Every structure is written in C-alpha cells, then in structure tokens.
Amino acid sequence: MTIAERHKYILDELNKNGFVGVAELSKELDVTVVTIRKDLKILEDKGLLYRSHGSATPASPYVNDRSVNEKKLVRVEEKMKIASEAAKLIDEDDAIIIGSGTTVVSFAQAIPKNKKLTVLTAAMNVTLALIDAPEIEIVQLGGVVRKSSSSVVGNFADEMLQQFACSKLFLSADGISLDHGLTTSHMMEAHLNARMIKGVQKTIVLADSSKFGKKGFGKICNLEDIDMVITDSGIPELYKEKLEEIGIEVRIL
C-alpha cells in the first residue's frame, strides 16, 4: 500500500468512526507504529486531523466553556428526542438527581407534570422548568452560581448533596472520550457531578452525538462509572461498540 493509499484509508476511517487508534491502524495496514505516527503527523500538518496520545480525531477534541444561552440553540431536535426517551425511565415516587446543561433542561421539560417524584438539582433552569409541576418536590442545591450554566457549585452544594441518596442521576457532559471518560469544561462542576454519581444507584448520560470524541477541562468519571447513554444516530460506531463492550447500555434514537 502506498503512502497516498494509507492516508486515504486513515481519513476514510476518521470520517466513518470519528476516531482512529495508532495501534489499530498499524495492525490493519500492516505497517509499524512509527510509520502510522509519521502518517498522522503529515495529515495533521495539512490540517486534516488532530493528533492526541495514541489516536487521532477529525478536529480538536478540546471544548471551551460556553454560555447555556448559546448551547440551547444547538442540536435542538436531537436534545428533545433524547429528553423524551429519558423521561420514560422515571418511576412513580422516584427520587432523582438532574445535573446541569441544556440537554437535561430539555429532559426536565419533558417530565410529565403530574408525575409524583422528588428532584434534586444544582441547576436553577431545571428548577424553573419544574416549578409549576404540583406533584414534583424540588430540592435546590445552594452554592456559588455559575452564570454560564445557570447552576451552582462549591462546598455548600457538595455538603448538601452528601445528605441524600437517590435512585437515578440524569447527567449531561461537554465531552465523552474513550481515553478520558466523561468531562465538563469547569472543574468545580466536574467535582460536583462526580459526587452526584456516588449518591445514586444508576447514572444515565444524556448526550447528543457531537459530544463523542470531545474533552472538557474537568474530568467527571471514567466510562465504567456510568450505566446508560442516550444519544442520537450520529454516534460513531466505534464509540457504540466500546461502550457496549464495557457493559454500558446505549440507546440510539
């Protein structure tokens, strides 16, 4: 296989899966790891991919903190479908935690208003979405307000959270990557989300397909710490396979 043929194969795999691994490419193309790394360097210099440790993605995997007002305008249809599916997982008299982010706000809006349950949340926009539901008891965590996400973080929220035990956590994230797990762009929010995971029986991640292969600054948890992912049909096949391999239920809409 010529260099040009290798490069075409690499780019085709990137387009199909959204991710390629150095070791896998070396085996599939029957060349050394050193050769693959040189190929990836050439393709990166041409602006055709972004290299990271042992792998490559079509674009930079790193995400920046963006306002919730900006993010709520992106992938609206996908978020609504994810939210509707997630709402089916709520049982009568459940006690659940809802994280922060535009996808979980859509989820809160999709919860039937006559459903009897208790919701614990750090997100003020989640609270506002449920405020008129007569059968839903809301426990609002307190702390330092992050205006960009309309949620609270800090020691007060952390300490309050530790007083409760809930059945399910509905969580969104800025990034889901195979090597770095679940991440968000703010380290204090990542810490609070990690605490939420410890206080529930089941963690359900609501994330549209654009989040796969991305990384935020603050790590929430390893992929093995989550139980289910609800996403749209744009999820790269490689991610679906890897998630299912480690026992995560993947629901694709």
CA distance 76 to 53: 33
pLDDT of residue 92: 92
What pLDDT was estimated at residue 14?
Answer: 84
- Report residues of the chain scoring pLDDT below 70: 59-60, 62-74
Nearest to 118 by CA among 155, 65, 167, 185: 167
20/100 Cα distance (integer angstroms): 31
pLDDT value for 42: 92
- Structural domains in the chain, sorted by start: 3-57 (1.10.10.10), 68-252 (3.40.50.1360)
Pairing assessment for the beta strands 200-206 and 228-231 based on DSSP bridges: parallel
Give the C-alpha separation, 74 to 64, whole Å: 15
pLDDT in tens, 29-50: 999 999 999 999 998 888 888 8
Taking alpha carbons only, the member of 183, 162, 179, 186 closest to residue 171 is 183
Q: What is the DSSP letter of 123?
A: B
pTM to 2 decimal places: 0.76
Read off the pLDDT of residues 63-92 as tens digits, 9 standing for 90 and up.
666 555 555 556 788 999 999 999 999 999
